[in-house]
Amino acid sequence: MKNLALDLAPAEFVGVNVREKKFVNVKDRYMFPIELFDSASISQIRHIQLSCVSFRPPSPFRGFPNLRKLDLYLFDASEMDLDEMLSGCSNLEWLSFYKCDVNDELKVKQPLYRLLYLRIAHCNITKVVLCAENLKTFVYHGGRLPIDLGQVKQLETAKLRLYGITFEYVLNELPDFLRGVQNLTFQTSYLPLVFSVFQKPLLLENIGSFPQLRFLRLTLLVRYCDNENILSLASFLKAAPLIEELEMHLSKESAFTGFNGIKGQREFLLHIVENAPAMKVLTIDPKKRLGLCNGKPADFFACRASVRRELKGKLSPGAEVNIL
């Protein structure tokens, strides 16, 4: 048997409410029947998919030595049990945790040299520590927590959906474990922007860096009171000097468009074209990506016209601007 799937989640099982730190009743989770597998059958398994399962292996447990893909949903295990299982999966290439209940740290003592893809989404995990030097894709949805992926050689793609964070956290702590990322997609429901003592837009100093970042996609909800301070988002450009393509989706709680040419947005746009000489493509979408869009076609035409006026004569040679 090479493929093992146990999809035991009830149709209306809600799972984990991570934002409120509350967890639904998980007493009905099924215990993984590890006693039914001998060493020969365990070594044959290549793919495992588990839903609504608890894992309590006997100690010591040597893992699944030839496992390539592990997909866990509504999964329950202790820190020690996870460590024992994953440390014995030396050939693991694809690993996903979705709405899993650990209520502790996710630590893997043995390196996962073959791991290429890692997703952690809406899990009750307090810290992530593992060594995945060949990781190519990292996906994380959740709140702020310490993450250490080891010395990743060439992280190609990172997709983050975060909540409960600050602007300083994004530009000081994220580069610590995403330093070599090339393509970054970042989304948050609300990111408090930074003001100086004179209530003017502030570009952060002493920030981390993304020295290999080429493509950046930002989806942010900007409060009405922060409209004039969008320029502070230009701190991303200081952190990523080699960026070539920037795609932004700005949404405003009380407005009908994402990019509608208000002062703060225009200042930010001009800062981009004047301070990112390596940029090849800039994409601006007037429509909202967060919340409802009540804009009329005439509003979008006016937005496009105002942007073109601001950019006239200020673009670097060869730069391309796409206004959707």
Backbone angles phi, psi at 303, to 5 degrees: -60, -45
Over its length of 324 residues, how does the chain's per-residue pLDDT go in tens digits? 799 999 887 765 555 554 544 444 556 688 999 999 998 999 999 999 999 999 998 888 888 999 999 999 999 999 999 999 999 999 999 999 999 988 899 999 999 999 999 999 999 999 999 999 999 999 999 998 999 999 999 999 999 999 888 777 888 888 888 989 999 998 887 666 554 444 454 566 778 889 999 998 888 766 655 555 566 777 777 788 888 877 766 544 323 334 555 566 666 677 766 766 666 666 766 555 444 445 555 655 666 677 777 777 666 666 676 766
> What is the C-alpha radius of gyration for the chain, rounded to an integer number of angstroms?
23
H helix intervals, the chain: 39-44, 79-87, 167-172, 174-177, 235-239, 263-275, 297-311
- Indicate the domain borders of the chain: 1-153, 154-324
CA angle 17, 177, 135 (to 5 degrees): 90
